[in-house]
A = this chain, B = another copy of it.
Amino acid sequence: MPNIPQNLKQAGLKTTLPRIKILEILKNNEVRHVSAEDVYKLLLESGDEIGLATVYRVLTDFENSNLVIRHNFEGGRSVFELNDQPEHDHMVCTECGHVFEFRDERMNERQKNLATNAGFSIADHSLYVYGTCDGIKDRGECDMPPRRDLDIIVKK
């Protein structure tokens, strides 16, 4: 089991209670793509009184030390996820809010080639697909909580 204080130290961050608690939440398998507000509420639920400003600060610190990745889905609020998966993209269901993760190696490659050929150095990229997960819903997979593993993997 990964040692959280260890993780923080490695990331160059002091081991403080708020950071430990928040990293615990993010490592918890029950959640995956969470907003700052979500984290704040989860903390309250577990009896930890940590200010919202602190939650934002900690998440930003985590982002800067690459412990988490920040997403800007439509809707104006940032969403964070633990940076413990290979690079992947997201499909967001605009009906039920479920976020599906997928990975398409060939698409990544194509993106890189494209940029490189154009003389552009990629620092980052974001691909979000919005729609509804009807088909998946029909198969009873929609209302399940997001899974730890990528939902869809497209092989080369």
Q: Which positions in A face B, CB cutoff 8 Å?
A: 72, 74, 76, 91, 93-94, 100, 102, 104, 106-107, 110-111, 114-115, 117-139, 151-152, 154
From B76, B106, B118, B126, contact of A136 by CB (8 A): B118
Q: Name the B residues within 8 Å of A120 (CB-CB).
A: 91, 93, 100, 129, 131-136
User: Is the Cβ of A91 less than 8 Å from the Cβ of B110?
Assistant: no
**Chain B, Cβ-Cβ closest to A141:** B119
User: Is the Cβ of A131 less than 8 Å from the Cβ of B121?
Assistant: yes
14 pairs from A and B in contact (CB 8 Å cutoff): A72-B76, A102-B118, A104-B110, A107-B111, A119-B133, A119-B134, A119-B137, A120-B134, A121-B133, A121-B134, A124-B130, A125-B127, A126-B128, A127-B128
Give bound CA distance, A127 to B122, whole Å. Answer: 13
Q: Name the B residues within 8 Å of A107 (CB-CB).
A: 107, 110-111, 114
Give bound CA distance, A129 to B127, whole Å. Answer: 8
Q: Name the B residues within 8 Å of A135 (CB-CB).
A: 118-121
Given known contacts A119-B134, A120-B135, A129 and B100 CB-to-CB distance under 8 angstroms: no
